[in-house]
């Protein structure tokens, strides 16, 4: 969270959890489940967006739709996401109105 504050980005997020926030880490679904709980959202209303197969596994196990960002540092590891985007612009086009 300190990194987000230092970059002036903290205010853009409703909840922030780190790798040490819970007993389980991705690909376990617990971090995604806790984020959904904190936001008062249901899995069917959410999309797990990430650049690594652990993101896709975690989102799928939590019951969310998944979107793989191919412009990131990771790989799908053979996991088939619901959506794949090649650029951040494409991500915003796929989910219009979310970046408000």
83 in any annotated domain: yes
54 in any annotated domain: yes
16 in any annotated domain: no
pLDDT digits (tens, 9 = 90+) for 57-98: 999 999 999 999 999 999 999 999 999 999 999 999 998 876
- Which residue is it, tokens 């909840």? 15
Closest C-alpha among 79, 44, 36 to residue 63:
44
Rounded CA separation 39/28 (Å): 19
58 in any annotated domain: yes
Rounded CA separation 24/15 (Å): 18
pTM: 0.89
71 in any annotated domain: yes
19 in any annotated domain: no
For the chain, the domain total comes to: 1
Query: What is the percent of the chain with per-residue pLDDT over 90, rounded to a whole number?
Result: 87
């Amino acid at each position: 969270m300190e990194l987000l504050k230092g970059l002036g980005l903290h205010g853009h997020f409703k909840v922030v959890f780190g790798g040490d926030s819970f007993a389980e880490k991705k690909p376990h679904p617990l971090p995604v489940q806790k984020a959904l709980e904190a936001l008062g959202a249901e899995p069917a209303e959410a999309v797990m967006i990430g650049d690594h197969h652990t993101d896709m596994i975690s989102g799928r196990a939590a019951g969310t739709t998944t979107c793989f960002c191919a412009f990131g540092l990771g790989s799908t590891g053979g996991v088939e996401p619901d959506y794949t985007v090649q650029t951040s612009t494409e991500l915003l086009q796929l989910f219009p109105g979310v970046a408000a």
